[in-house]
Structure 1
Amino acid sequence: MRKESSVLTPTTPKPSPPQAPAVRLVEVTEEHDGQRLDNFLMRLCKGVPKSHIYKAVRGGEVRVNKGRVSPDARIHAGDIVRVPPIRLPAVDQKRVVPGAEFPIVFEDEGLLVIDKPAGTAVHGGSGVSFGVIEALRAARPEARFLELAHRLDRDTSGLLLIAKKRNVLLSLHEMFRESKGSKHYLALVEGDWVNARQHIRLPLTKWTTQTGERRVKVEAEGQVSHTIVSAQKRFNGYSLVDAELRTGRTHQIRVHLASTGFPIVGDDKYGRDETRAKFVKLGFNRMFLHAHRLDIPHPLTQEALSLIAPLPKACEALLQKLEQQ
């Protein structure tokens, strides 16, 4: 009886498991001198959720010159930043960010000012994959430097400043800290605003809800905050006002107006649900807050700049409806 010969089947070698990303020590270059730590890490760890970066910093995993720091700490050229493996994406895993341009109000070699649409975040994080700044970088791959000079809430439209050079960014930050120039917003609020011009000085404090949402409230121990509100036009139970920021706190205009009894129409955090539902039925499904005018010295030449973004069509159409009521 013939024995069948045994056949050896070659086995496919098992791929070696991917190596876990190691801790990195990154030296800060001149290009990033003076930048906030959280912004530095977001560029260094592209694709990592902002919440993970904040957790790593607050947990002491991220260190600057071997010391613990806060996410908003400024880093300087020569600093050594310890970057832990904060769930970095795989080397061959590319996060596709569609490039996009936005209506340009002003642009030169150092400064870009756009008219941001409502509903668009200024940067990725908090459940948003990408925002204005990531889309602009994708649309302008040749740009060596593009950084937000300030923030606008996702549902706020209007003027947004982007620095194209590090010295422009630092100059704008200093200007905002010293309250130079003026930033004006247009808001539609509930109620009849009767004062021609009113100063609101209410200290503000950030807090977090049980569901993890970031909010702001008026509190005696809070940060000094100053808004100047001027009447523009009154409708039947609503008012269009100009709000000038003299300080730049998170949600400042929204909280100041709501705390004085004049919440902004469509504000899902500090406004009334009934009002928001009423205006959705009218076809208006955003917050009526628009960064309308900006008067600043140019950060390089000191030439006076007066920048204007007209009200979006949806806001103009709503005002026309209110006039007809």
Structure 2
Amino acid sequence: MPVFHMRKPETTPAAAPAVRLVQIDAEQAGQRIDNFLLRICKGVPKSHIYKAIRGGEVRVNKGRIQSDYRLQDGDTVRVPPLRLPAPDAPRLVPPCDFPVVFEDDAILVIDKPSGVAVHGGSGVSFGVIEQLRAARPDARLLELAHRIDRETSGLLIIAKKRAALVALHDMMREGKGRKRYQALVVGDWVNDRQHLKQPLLKWLTASGERRVRVDAAGKPAHTIISLLKRYGRYSLLEAELRTGRTHQIRVHLASAGFPIVGDDKYGSDEVRAQFSRQGFGRMFLHAWRLDIPHPMTGELLQLTAPLPPECQRLLDQLEQIS
């Protein structure tokens, strides 16, 4: 009998990635080269991008640059042939649309849930900004205008235009606008209104974790505290930021002897464990109100985000007890 040999189907090899030269325009100017590459090289692992920068494969105007280089209008960026993951590889950044409080063509304001970092890094592979970019692949620009802690919930501003981002940064640096938070603290807060102005200094623990403490050598920091309600041995406070230092509200309140419930860095482990057993497993700090001029029109935006359900349930429980 004749023997038939099965011929393998011919396949066309995938085209190898090619070097790209990208001309930077005014809308792209001002952003860091690493953030620019992460956005235009969608799906490429962050480690590959930083390796390409360190190795000199990424160049601006034919010269080597560092990952913190800020692009300028007219720059020519050499983007090396960075390989995407295989089509069947799991997606590294799951897209997510967060609750939108306000949006127009210049800015997006979302209500960030607790437990989600605003960006990747420090052991977190992705955060809000990476997930938004994955969910909105056609967006020309999405950049954080400011930051809030991972365990803090509430209002977060994302710029959709370079001019809006620059204007927001300028406004925050100049102290324009009001950012207000609600915090449940351990202790019976006495004053209806109090200014906390202790300087704050960043430091690292032996294990390399970032911390902040009150220190005369630190940067000036100003928080205005208003009493909202007492719940026995706990108090619900409003904290208004006049400066934007790392962990400012948390450290100011802890230093005053009123640590925030659930704070794993500056609070009580015993209190955190107690509330965790009751089903409350987060820090009670929520960015609830933002009054700020619109970065493009100057119109005053007055935005609010109600307390998350788990925070409101806890207050209801404390109300019953007290």
What's the TM-score, normalizing by structure 2? Answer: 0.81
Q: CA deviation at 1:220?
A: 1.1
Decide whether aligned partners of structure 1 residues 67 and 256 sit closer, same or farther in structure 2, where only a CA change above 3 A counts: farther
| Pairing of 1:65-144 with structure 2 (within 5 A) | 71=68, 74-78=70-74, 92=86, 95-144=91-140
Decide whether aligned partners of structure 1 residues 125 and 259 sit closer, same or farther in structure 2, where only a CA change above 3 A counts: same
| Pairing of 1:162-181 with structure 2 (within 5 A) | 162-181=158-177
Is contact 1:48–1:89 with CA below 8 Å preserved after alignment?
no
Q: 2:221 aligns with which of 225, 237, 243?
A: 225
Q: CA deviation at 1:238?
A: 0.8
Is contact 1:183–1:245 with CA below 8 Å preserved after alignment?
yes
The whole-number CA distance in structure 2 between the counterparts of 1:264 and 1:64 is 46
1:304 and 2:303 correspond: no
What is the percent sequence identity of the aligned residues?
A: 65
Stretches of structure 2 lacking an aligned partner (at least 5 in a row): 1-15
The aligned residue for residue 210 of structure 2 is 214
Q: Between 271-280 and 215-224, report the one with greater CA deviation.
A: 215-224
1:48 and 2:73 correspond: no
Q: Deviations over 1:6-58 (max 9, x none)?
A: xxxxxxxxxxxxx9x9x9998754333222466446546752259x959x88x
The whole-number CA distance in structure 2 between the counterparts of 1:132 and 1:219 is 32
The whole-number CA distance in structure 2 between the counterparts of 1:284 and 1:62 is 46
The aligned residue for residue 232 of structure 2 is 236
1:281 and 2:273 correspond: no
Decide whether aligned partners of structure 1 residues 152 and 28 sit closer, same or farther in structure 2, where only a CA change above 3 A counts: same
Q: CA deviation at 1:81?
A: 7.6
Q: CA deviation at 1:96?
A: 3.6
The whole-number CA distance in structure 1 between the counterparts of 2:200 and 2:277 is 33
Q: Deviations over 1:188-239 (max 9, x none)?
A: 0111111111111111122222212111112211111111111111111111
Q: Secondary structure at the residue paired with 1:233?
A: strand
Is contact 2:29–2:73 with CA below 8 Å preserved after alignment?
yes
Is contact 1:28–1:76 with CA below 8 Å preserved after alignment?
yes
The whole-number CA distance in structure 2 between the counterparts of 1:28 and 1:179 is 31
The whole-number CA distance in structure 1 between the counterparts of 2:231 and 2:240 is 21
The aligned residue for residue 34 of structure 1 is 30
Considering only aligned residues, what root-mean-square deviation do their CA atoms show, in Å? Answer: 3.2
The whole-number CA distance in structure 1 between the counterparts of 2:135 and 2:234 is 40
The aligned residue for residue 184 of structure 1 is 180
The whole-number CA distance in structure 1 between the counterparts of 2:47 and 2:29 is 23
Q: CA deviation at 1:250?
A: 1.0
Q: 1:204 aligns with which of 178, 200, 203?
A: 200
Q: Secondary structure at the residue paired with 1:295?
A: strand
The whole-number CA distance in structure 2 between the counterparts of 1:215 and 1:300 is 35
Q: Between 155-164 and 91-100, report the one with greater CA deviation.
A: 91-100
Stretches of structure 1 lacking an aligned partner (at least 5 in a row): 1-18
Q: 1:193 aligns with which of 182, 189, 194?
A: 189
The whole-number CA distance in structure 2 between the counterparts of 1:242 and 1:294 is 13
Q: In structure 2, what residue type is equivalent to 1:281?
A: R
The whole-number CA distance in structure 2 between the counterparts of 1:226 and 1:251 is 12
The whole-number CA distance in structure 2 between the counterparts of 1:271 and 1:61 is 46
Is contact 1:42–1:53 with CA below 8 Å preserved after alignment?
no
Is contact 1:99–1:136 with CA below 8 Å preserved after alignment?
yes
The whole-number CA distance in structure 2 between the counterparts of 1:68 and 1:118 is 36
Q: In structure 1, what residue type is equivalent to 2:125?
A: S
Decide whether aligned partners of structure 1 residues 247 and 84 sit closer, same or farther in structure 2, where only a CA change above 3 A counts: farther
Q: In structure 1, what residue type is equivalent to 2:96?
A: A
Is contact 2:22–2:79 with CA below 8 Å preserved after alignment?
yes
Q: Secondary structure at the residue paired with 2:264?
A: coil
